[in-house]
Amino acid sequence: MTYNETAYAKINLALHVRKRREDGYHELETLFAFVDAGDTLSAQTSEQDQVTTLGEFAAGIDDPFDNLVAKALSVLPRPRDFEQGLNITLEKNLPVAAGLGGGSADAGAVFRLVERLHGLPDDWQERAAKLGADVPSCVRSETAIGRGTGTELEPLEDDLKGTPVLLVNPRITLSTASVFKAWGQKDLGPLPEGTARDIAEQGRNDLDEPAFALCPVIPEVLAELAKDNAWLTRMSGSGATCFALYEEESARDDALKRLKTERPDWWTLGGKLR
């Protein structure tokens, strides 16, 4: 039997960086949201755990056995009577180092696969956090506020479910560590309060300035997205992917069609927020 899961693309509708922590990480307040498309994982039981990576962006993973799919398998216990491993095929449809939490989303999908087979341990959130700050949010892939390093999740009123969204990446990788290192260390204030839409509209991305300096094409991407009828355009995470939110699917589709024609060198993905 084959088990399939989608590793949903993560976007930060708002990302406020409050301070640099003594452990080297940063104190964040962010609004996570997820697109109804992403990488795909197919799993079958086997004698031992195996990971095969294919797809457009598979080359971005240097060692498929050292990626977050393999690491997620290694941190999840199996019941004593479950003597089989999982043979997982990962199709990388999302760009790597793109601000979409691709690896974290893949790990989250592994957690859901294991949950379907024999459940998750009570401490699954702690296990997920050890793999990366975005992984706990990616396990459930639901709109939520993230605090701390992003692992402390809070539910909120989600009035954005089903919102048409367009993702655009200029096919340039951008190191998250480099962007955070270049952050100006100025606290510009907390995340707004309210519904998901309130926070998205009133919030900001505090990593814009360092990301723009490291990747000057990002403002060009945002300028292109602003040409159409989006009610919000913003960079996701540490970049370089940008997103646009629309009231109508037709507006998103028109923008997607235009960009595919005018900027065929850019990666694009249209979908809806989950």
pLDDT tens digits, 28-81? 999 999 999 999 999 999 989 999 999 999 987 766 555 899 999 999 988 776
Please indicate whether residue 257 or residue 82 has the higher confidence score (pLDDT): 257
- 137-178 tens-digit pLDDT: 999 999 999 999 999 999 999 999 999 999 999 999 999 999
> Domain limits of the chain?
3-154, 164-272
- In this prediction the pTM is 0.94
Task: Measure the CA–CA gap between 224 and 229, rounded to whole angstroms.
Answer: 11
CATH number of 3-154: 3.30.230.10
Could you report how far apart the first and last alpha carbons of the chain are, in Å? Answer: 27
Active site residue ranges: 10, 134
Residue 64 DSSP code = G
Q: Which amino acid is at 52?
A: T
Beta strands in 102-260 (DSSP E): 144-148, 152-154, 164-169, 230-235, 242-246
Write a three-state SS string for 4-29. Answer: EEEEEEEEEEEEEEEEECCCCCEEEE
What pLDDT, on a 0 to 100 scale, did the predictor assign at position 41?
98
Distances (CA, A) of 98 to 68, 131, 172, 198, 237: 16, 18, 8, 25, 8
Task: Measure the CA–CA gap between 18 and 223, rounded to whole angstroms.
Answer: 27
For 74, the token pair is 């290694």
Domain 164-272 annotated CATH 3.30.70.890: yes
Residue 199: pLDDT over 60? yes
